[in-house]
Amino acid sequence: MAVSTIAHDEQLRVSIGVDTHLDTHVAVAKDGRGRTIGRTDIPATPAGYRQVLAWAQGYGEVEGWAIEGTGSYGAGLSRFLRKEGQRVVEVIRPDRSARRHKGKSDPVDAEAAARALQAEEALAVPKAGDDLVEAIRCLRVARGSAMKARTKAINTARALVVTAPAELREQLRHLGLDQLIEVCSRLRPGAVTSPLAGTKFSLRCMARRVKALDDEIALLDGDLFVLADRHSRQRGRRLPLCAGGHDHELARLLGA
């Protein structure tokens, strides 16, 4: 739904503020005098992105877009607008005084974003989000999730060892992590009809989960290195050889 308060045949220089959500975005247009001249709601889809750009350009020259959440709900719109040659900035946070006086509403937040753009306040340059960097970000998310799951599986296995029947506990309690995972992955619980069999079965599940996650992490690390090395070479640099250097380089790319 679009709401306009000024004729479209009056060409203006406009600033656009956008409040973003998972499924819909709300955009507000302001002219050079700070007047709100229009508002529209769009779906958070490629068609919606084209719609809001055409809507904004219908008022005249678009000086820029102030978008909340360019790294989350507003990521897709931000990438689309940058590819279209638009100036995009991220609003660090909404003006809380506006919320106190007018209450929480999406148009108010979008309006506050447009005001922040015109005043050049509370703005940040959104992350580049180019194809390689975005691919690296996605793989890092998957790797982080796998690492957390691995840690949880290891802690669960260790807790099971602590409470295991005495004969099994004595067999496992002094093993290092690698040995523990290897031994537990080969346990044969048989029919699960006793605490001993139940513990063996659970330990085997945890150990095999850790091994599967190790393989997954290694696969992700290989792809991450290839992407990060390609990104570095495009910029005339070489990726550090040490693992710590890789992680630092990846964090630097995502923060750029």
User: Domains of the chain (ranges plus CATH)?
Assistant: 2-124 (3.30.420.40), 131-255 (no CATH)
* pLDDT, position 231: 73
Q: How many other C-beta atoms can be found within 10 angstroms of the C-beta atom of residue 21?
A: 13
Question: For residue 221, which of 140, 121, 125, 167 has the smallest C-alpha distance?
Answer: 140
Between 131-162 and 177-185, two packed helices, what is the crossing angle to 10 degrees? 80
* pLDDT, position 91: 84
pLDDT band at 153 (very low <50, low <70, confident <90, very high): very high
Task: Provide CB contacts within 8 A for 178, sequence distance 6+.
Answer: none
Cα angle at 112 between 106 and 115, to 5 degrees? 145
Q: What is the pLDDT of residues 52-98, one digit of tens each?
A: 999 999 999 999 999 988 878 888 999 899 999 999 988 875 545 54
* pLDDT, position 125: 66
pTM over 0.85: no
* pLDDT, position 241: 47
DSSP state letter for 127: P
